[in-house]
Structure 1
Amino acid sequence: MLHTRTTPAERRRAFRERLGSGRLLVMPGAVNPYSARLIQQAGFEAAYLSGAVLAADLGLPDIGLTTSTEIAARAQQTTRATDLPVLIDADTGFGEPMNAARTVQLMEDAGLAGLHLEDQVNPKRCGHLDGKSVVSREEMGRRIRAAVDARRDPDFLLMARTDARAVEGLPAAIDRAKAYVDAGADAVFPEALADEAEFAAFRAAVDVPLLANMTEFGKGPLLDARTLEDLGYDIALYPVTLFRLAMGAVEDGLRTIATEGTQESLLPRMQTRSRLYEVLGYEEYAAFDSSVSDFTLPPGT
């Protein structure tokens, strides 16, 4: 049946162990619970929930309009459907340090393996847009310490994202990353690095797991997995790739129906009904239903 067979604690331990393996973890971003299941079936070892995707799914821009409870609800729907560890984008923690603390506990309760908090001002904006602003290093330290204090499962990963590269330059971003680790962050997400040399400089300076954001149409290069592994990065993130592919296909399909008056030419590009039923486990549900309800009452009852 289409539900996880592992506990959040097991997935968190697995995520920690995988990050400690020295091998690059390739992490696609899920569009919804169904796509998280597809990510698992494709052989990936972890999935991601992007704040930009979660906002876009609600018809909203990625400028801090979503709430912690909306994000936690979507996260719980996703973690129910996959055995993979799931990392989530928790923006700025959705407010002050006390809000960040509450966000950590909401995400723990949602079954996630970890989250990242960023050092942008609240409300934030997409990390690859111009005009970003960051809070002081001290303010971000308070966010991280509040998150650490609120965490109940020590295996729940707390990652600090810094957007300072585009605002203050690379040396300041590295200094911030070190300060965030000192405040208790388990890993670091340096956003919008400009080139391979900057990825290398960050790796040389920061001695915790590092995430490389390989988002399309952004500020940085799209480095391949071999290059990222050679650079010593721990996670290669593809946060919006599946969403962009899916929405591109939707737009193509709409144009085809409008132009041709039928969807027939689109059939070879569609997931078949049989494949859909296979992913959803129709047969398993039918077998389960029969096992609990297929019985005969004895005579006289």
Structure 2
Amino acid sequence: MSTNIDKALHAALEGPEIQRLKVYGHHWNVKPADVLRREGTRVRVEGQLDHSVRMWDDDHLFYKFTFKNGKLEEQDLQIKEKGLGQIAGIVANAVGKFVDMPIPPEEISKIGNKLENMAHNEWQYAIQKLALRIGLEGYRRMHSITAYTKPRFGGVSQVFSPGVYEASDFWAVGNDRIASLRVPPRMKVLVCKHRPGVGRPEECKTYTKDRPALDEEVMGVSYLSVEDLDNPGHTLVIDGTEAQRAEYTVRLKEGSGWLRKDAHRGSIQRSDKISDDRTTARGIVGGGKDAYQFTGDLEEVRLSGDEQQVVIKVDGEPVEALH
């Protein structure tokens, strides 16, 4: 079931506008982003959110985010409040009417400030949080593909970042149910009815742009391979089939990319650990294999223990340990 934050992100990044949606304790009118664009490694997300308060004019936030090489390069958040002055004026008239005396201007400001705090309860912070969520999700969408269960980008959706996915990974869209795809510029996806090498060659198609409806040959999708053309992915296999026990550390060059476990080429154990920033992995192999998908450049692949019995392969080719 979609949460309200999911609905807000969908409205901002795909439309249509949704009004008076409650997120972070406040109601918002969430409009489709004015700009959602990728140019090489730079992504721009620009748009508007309205703070919806009944009986008053909406307050507005205009946001601009620019990401480059996976980092937030620039952010510009501008709040334009319409409610404050009008609230103060209305309160002044109402209070003056009931007490039959004018209120000094400085008191009007104080009343207006109090009402602003009561009415919005620090909505300014909440709207900036929501804008940042939209910006981050926009960046993610521009570096991923989105699959849908109905033609023309309808139904249930799931976002797939660069990597290889099989039926067990389709936790939202389900096996055999993908009907359309959003493929941003500089992204590529191999779509197959079966794992490559199992079915007929024509049951695999490569797409580099949006597909409102998939080709009939691949309907019943059970395999996706997603690639970012500006930051191509690689596979790393640490083969300890002949080893008793060997510990390893894998580290990427700072700022060059990310790591993720590849469950299709290796096992997943509790001893396998990936850092929060997804640039370092540690684990143990003994009688089996561990595997990772990564982008960027390897800085270190260090082995200890029964290291002589371990084979390291990058994209299928044996390599030496890196220290």
TM-score (norm 2): 0.26
Q: Which has the higher strand share?
A: 2
The structure with more radius of gyration: 2
TM-score (norm 1): 0.27
